[in-house]
A and B are shown apart, each in its own frame.
Chain A
Amino acid sequence: MCLAVPGKIISIDATDPLMRTGKVNFGGIVKEINLAYVPEAEVGNYVIVHVGFAISIVDEDEANRVFEYLREMDELAELEDETSS
């Protein structure tokens, strides 16, 4: 199961629309991401990224719900580790 983790755009380099890239922050890890597919994306938006390409924009509420799910899942996995060890 792949998980789509939203990342927040912190800066954009838009000199060439085909090569539009931006720095995206995923919980502290900052990566250079291609933004050619989301021309309307702005600094501060959350994006879903697949192999280095932002494939869609999600609003902040939506991103927070995903983070909430991920947290719950993480807690479940930790619980499992504790019970199995």
Chain B
Amino acid sequence: MARQITIEPVTRAEGHGKVTIFLDDDGYVRDAQFHVTQIRGFEKFCEGRPFYEMPSLMARICGICPVSHLVASAKACDQLMAVQIPETAEYLRRVMNLAQLIQSHALSFFHLASPDFLLGLDSDPATRNIFGLMQSHPNIARDGIMLRKFGQQIIELLGGKRIHPGWIVPGGVSEPLSVDKRDTILAMLPEAMAAIQRTLDWFKRTFDQYPEEIRTFANFPSLFMGLTNDKGELVHYEGRLRFVDATGKIVADQIEAEDYQKYIGEAVEPYSFLKFPYYKPMGYPEGIYRVGPLARLNLINFVGTPLADAEWAEFRELGRGAVLSSFHYHCARLIEILNGIERIEHILNKSDILDKNVRAYADPNRLEGVGISEAPRGTLIHHYRINEDGIITYANLIIATGHNNLAMNRGVLQVAKHFVKGDQLQEGMLNRVEAVIRAYDPCLSCSTHAVGQMPLHVELVNRDGRVVDELTR
């Protein structure tokens, strides 16, 4: 029996999602909106603070992926200082960024998404969660925990135990890598590698069980955006922005960080605090694009590590041109975990990785800086302006969940059209809306919500604007 669960009123600091589905005269779905109730005024909050405080401030506030914010923020600060950071520092930042990617993808895949496919989308929500999974598939659950821990341990080894790894600083990193720490990380690699390969082998074999999900899970043409380098490799730290279209053709390439506003516009809608970025040359809302693992694997020319390249070649066969179904975000995450493990091994074996010179010092030399990195969920942009004393006068942030905002709305509409008929909402439909949103792994922290469940409130609105049905959990 499906249960209706009501969530307590949460503070305004909590991100939680609300979906409104609009019906036409004949009871067919006309439109759907995914509202994200999120914090306002964050950018205002940054103004008046010294620029060098930004990385740790951002990491504290956005504690779900602190390392990603540290990286993008520190890159913006490097710009303000106009320094070229030491090469070893750049490699160490990359290792930490990849570790964050691995642990975040592990949580998303194993613990939030996999109960949907392992236990079935129409199964009872009371058991369609990690507890059900741990009972029915304990080995998969264990691999997930191990991979997440692997990423977290690397972050702790490099940055110390605290949640805000103050180790990534403007100009580089605060401390070089020790032999011991390097060897500890290298020793953890084989187990992580075995776990991800096991998971990929199993997951790929399951695709034919979900033809309907693959067909209807936010499966639509859109642009894809992400970083890549001048060779077209999969990167998460360095490189420049590229956009490809639904056929996989490059529409804009090698966009410098400081030029992002020439290509990305930000629209505002009254129903959501989260902005709606769009690809400017196509206008709003036509300029819809997606970011994150799926986008990254769609826009590159190759991965750049042997095992992940072999998986990527198979992945590309899932679509003609770009892979369009958001269902495949999940597979893309696994391939990125594999790539991350390979990259970490490669970087840690570099001869100068233990070099003691890991930080450049400078006062501000430029009044504007933009830092872009690839966070687990997609492209993260930090843009600051400062005055001559180094005090922030303007901050603009575009987070991955923002870039995907239009696409999430489109995905919810597509599922609603398929699964809502008449004036009633079915539990199975709610699960599918949730699963589509989950494919994007939006960073709704939802700390006050039940394990594994997204706080979701769905309203069905008829042509007169009357709510004819609603579900909350």
A residues sitting closer than 8 Å to B (CB atoms) are 1-7, 18-19, 21, 24, 26-27, 29, 31-34, 36-37, 48-53, 55-59, 62, 65-66, 69-70, 72-74, 76-77, 80
Nearest CB of chain B from residue A49's CB, rounded to whole Å: 4
Q: Is B448's CB within 8 Å of the partner chain A?
A: yes
CB neighbours of A6 from chain B (8 A): 63
- List 18 contacting pairs A-B, 8 Å CB cutoff, sorted by A: A2-B15, A2-B62, A3-B13, A3-B39, A4-B62, A5-B445, A21-B451, A29-B8, A29-B448, A34-B111, A37-B107, A49-B446, A51-B444, A51-B453, A62-B60, A73-B41, A77-B39, A77-B40
Is A73 a contact of B452 with CB atoms below 8 Å? no
Can you name 18 extra interface pairs (CB under 8 A) apart from A26-B447, A50-B447? A1-B274, A2-B401, A4-B66, A5-B13, A21-B451, A27-B11, A31-B449, A32-B451, A33-B451, A36-B130, A48-B64, A50-B443, A51-B112, A51-B444, A53-B111, A55-B107, A55-B152, A69-B57
What 9 A-B pairs are tightest by C-beta distance, nearest first?
A: A4-B63, A52-B451, A2-B443, A49-B447, A58-B163, A2-B445, A48-B63, A2-B15, A76-B41
CB neighbours of A5 from chain B (8 A): 11, 13-14, 445, 447
Nearest to A24 among chain B residues (CB) is: B447
CB-CB contacts of B424-450 with A at 8 A, as 1s and 0s?
000000000000000000111111111
Is B148 a contact of A66 with CB atoms below 8 Å? no
Nearest CB of chain A from residue B95's CB, rounded to whole Å: 18
> Which one of B42, B401, B445 lies within 8 Å of A50 (CB-CB)?
B445
Q: How far is the CA of A51 from the CA of B104 in the complex (A)?
A: 12
Q: Which range contains the number of B residues in contact with the other chain? A: 35 or more
Segment from B138-146, B191-199, B219-227, B277-285 that makes contact with A: B138-146
A-B contact count (CB 8 A): 154
Q: How far is the CA of A70 from the CA of B445 in the complex (A)?
A: 14
Q: How far is the CA of A2 from the CA of B447 in the complex (A)?
A: 10
Nearest to A29 among chain B residues (CB) is: B448
> Which one of B12, B63, B111, B152 lies within 8 Å of A74 (CB-CB)?
B12
Q: How far is the CA of A77 from the CA of B446 in the complex (A)?
A: 20
Q: How far is the CA of A1 from the CA of B11 in the complex (A)?
A: 15
Nearest to B135 among chain A residues (CB) is: A19
